[in-house]
Amino acid sequence: MKKALAFCVLATLAVPLPGSGPYSPVRVNFARDDRYERGRSLFAGEVKMGDGTYCAACHSKNIPLDRKKLQSVQPDLQRKVEDCIHNPDRVNGTAKQSDMEALAYYLAKRYRL
Ligand code: HEC
């Protein structure tokens, strides 16, 4: 009798739950943000811009960029980027308009300005 009861309980549990609809995998957006990637690689020095050093060489440890500071200069962000690119003590180089935009875009996105 006990066995029969146990069998009934287990049988009930073993019945598959009614389907909850077709399986739909989580959607991941693989579209790459090329402008962000370009800005990031310029910043990290993977793409060289001048005769001096690259952005991250200064702006990761010694003179870190922070959100507050960047927010306060945001209207001027691209000009600040240009200053650092042209400054002979900094990057000492030139950049295409699109690269300067990419850098500003990267910073704005990274620091959620
Ligand atoms: C040799 C060091 C050096 C390099 C390389 C350099 N910077 Fe700077 N950067 C500075 C200094 C110094 C300041 C001024 C900080 C201040 O005025 O308080 C500054 C300021 C800035 C600012 C304004 C925000 C702030 O804190 O004043 C931005 C944005 C910026 N740099 C971005 C860049 C980018 C992008 C690059 C690469 C293209 C770069 N920097 C390369 C030294 C550097």
Separation of alpha carbons 8 and 25, rounded Å: 35
Terminus-to-terminus CA distance in the chain, angstroms? Answer: 71
Residues touching ligand 1 (Cβ under 6 Å) are: 43, 53, 55, 57-59, 63, 65, 69-70, 73, 77, 80-81, 84-85, 89-91, 103, 107
- Per the CB < 8 A criterion, the answer to whether 54 and 80 are in contact is no
Question: What confidence category does residue 4 fall into, taking pLDDT thresholds of 50, 70 and 90?
Answer: confident
Structure tokens at 85: 């690119």
Question: What confidence category does residue 25 fall into, taking pLDDT thresholds of 50, 70 and 90?
Answer: confident
Structure confidence by residue, pLDDT tens digits, 44-78: 999 999 999 999 999 999 999 999 999 999 999 99
66 contacts: CB under 8 Å, gap ≥ 6 = 111
How far, CA to CA in Å, does 54 sit from each of 9, 79, 85, 87, 89? 69, 17, 9, 12, 11
Residue among 90, 92, 105 whose CB has most ligand 1 atoms within 8 A, to mutate: 90
3, pLDDT greater than 60: yes
